[in-house]
Amino acid sequence: MRKVRLALLLVVIAVVVGVVANSILGRKLFFTRDVHDQASFFRLRVHLRHAGEPVEADIVVGCGARVTRYRDGGSSLDVGRFPYRYAFSISAGHALEIRTPGLCNGGTTANGDVPKDFLPYVIWYEHADDLSFGILYASDDAYANPRAQLTFSGAEVEPATPADFERWMASAPENLIPRWAAGSLTGDNPDGLKATPDLLADPARYARLFGSSSNCYGVLRLQIPETLRPALARFRPADEPLYWVPAADDWRAVSDVLYASKPAANRVFEGQLLSHYRKQETPGNGLYRRSGGGTIPYSIRDVQGSLFPLRWEAGLPWLRPGLERSATTYVDLEVAPETQGFAYCFDADWQLEHRDRRPTMRINGIEASGRLLGFDYAFSVFEKDEYLYLHRRF
C-alpha cells in the first residue's frame, strides 16, 4: 500500500511541477480563480515472444490532471502519467522497456482512439543490469528482421480503475527505471546526482542511477527520384565523394529542392511525398508502419521508410577520455540488412560541451565529405545523387 501511495504521490508531484513551471513562465498563481484535480487510469497490454516463449507486458497507468482557471478567463491543463517508462527483466538476463501512450483522456482500443495496428515503443536490453544501451524496435521492419530477438503479435489499451492500479503496483515486476525518471513529467533527480568522471566510466552504474536514455536515434535511407537528381547534383562537392553533406550556406536551397519542388509528383520518394516520412510526434504514442498507421492519432498517410541505427561516440557507452580535445566527433550509421528497422538508444543529453560541435558522419565506416550542423540537428546526408539519409530521433 505504501508503494501505491508513493506512486500516486509522484503523479501529483509531476502535475504540480508543471503547474509551477506554468506560473513562472506565464500567469502567476495568485491570478488563479479555481483549481480542479482529476485522475484516470488505463491498461496497456503488449504481446511479444522471445526465443519462442510468450512475453506479456501488462501495465496499468495512472494519470493525474490539474485544470487551472484564471481570473482573466483563461485556463491551463497539466497532465502527468505514471509509469511512462516501464522496464522489466525477462528470461536469460535480458530486459525490455515499454513506453506508455498519452491516453489520459480515456482513449482505448474498443472506442477507436487506439488503432488496431498500434505499434508500441519496445526497447531491447541485452543485459538487465546494464541499461546504458538499448535497441528500439522502431518499425515493423525490426520484427521481420532475421536478427530480431522479439516477435510482436499486437497491443491494446483497456480502461482501468484505481483498484486495478493498486493491484498492479503491488504485484508487477520491479521497474528497472529509477522511480523519479519513470513518469512523463520529471525534474532533476532527487538526490542531486551529477555525471562525474567516475560515473561516466561505468555506464551500467550511470544508467542505474540516472535511468536509461529517453532518446533513440536512427536514420531513414530513401532513394532520390530521378526528377530531383539534376537539381541536387549542383550541390555535390567537385571531387564527387560517395557520401556528402551540403555546405552550410546551401542547406536552405537543398531543402527547397527536397520539399518544395513543383510539381509535387517530382518529390515522390519510394512512393510517398518526403513530408509523409514524418518524425515521431509524441514518444509512447506509437511508431509508424511501412504501410502507414500504427500511431495515436491514427494516420494512414504518414509512413516509415528504411530505417537504420545511429550512434555518436560522445554518447554513453562509447565515450572515451580525452574526446573533448579531439578535432571532431564521429556519428556512425550502420546500413545493413541485419540492422534495418532498429534505432539505438543511449544517453547523449548530458554532453553539453559536445552538442554544438559539428561532427563527421561515417556510413559503414566511410567518412562523408563535410560536417553535420550538430548531432541533434535534423540533418540530411547524401549518397552520390541517388540516396538521401534523414536523421530521426525517437
Is-contact 236 244, C-beta < 8 A?
yes
For residues 242 and 56, give the distance between their C-alpha atoms in angstroms, rounded to a whole number.
45
Q: What is the pLDDT of residue 367?
A: 94
Residue 167 sits in the same domain as residue 53: yes
Residue 252 sits in the same domain as residue 332: yes
CA pseudo-torsion sign 362, 367, 372, 374: positive
Classify residue 289: in a domain, yes or no. Answer: no
Residue 315 sits in the same domain as residue 362: yes
Residue 96 sits in the same domain as residue 165: yes
For residues 393 and 215, give the distance between their C-alpha atoms in angstroms, rounded to a whole number.
7
Residue 160 sits in the same domain as residue 252: no
Classify residue 84: in a domain, yes or no. Answer: yes
Q: Does the pTM exceed 0.85?
A: no
Residue 95 sits in the same domain as residue 186: yes
Last residue of a domain, one of 165, 192, 210: 210
Classify residue 227: in a domain, yes or no. Answer: yes
Residue 36 sits in the same domain as residue 167: yes
Q: What is the pLDDT of residue 241?
A: 95
Classify residue 296: in a domain, yes or no. Answer: no
Residue 377 sits in the same domain as residue 357: yes
Q: What is the pLDDT of residue 313?
A: 83
Last residue of a domain, one of 210, 229, 254: 210
CA distances from 70 to 24, 27, 36, 75, 393 (A): 14, 8, 12, 6, 36
Number of structural domains in the chain: 2
Helix (H, G, I), strand (E, B) or coil at 216: strand
Classify residue 123: in a domain, yes or no. Answer: yes
Cell of 295: 500511431
Q: What is the pLDDT of residue 65?
A: 54
- Per the listing, cell 509531476 goes with 14
Residue 375 sits in the same domain as residue 259: yes
Classify residue 291: in a domain, yes or no. Answer: no
Q: What is the pLDDT of residue 40?
A: 86
Q: Mean pLDDT of successive 10-residue segments in the chain (394 residues)?
A: 46 39 36 55 97 96 69 63 92 95 90 94 95 93 96 96 90 89 60 56 63 81 94 93 92 89 85 78 80 77 86 79 76 94 82 63 93 69 94 87
Q: Exposure of 169 by Cβ count < 10 A (0-12 exposed, 13-18 middle, 19+ buried)?
A: buried
Last residue of a domain, one of 210, 243, 262: 210
Residue 370 sits in the same domain as residue 225: yes
Residue 343 sits in the same domain as residue 198: no
Residue 127 sits in the same domain as residue 263: no
Where in the sequence is the domain holding 387, given as residue range(s)? 216-270+305-393
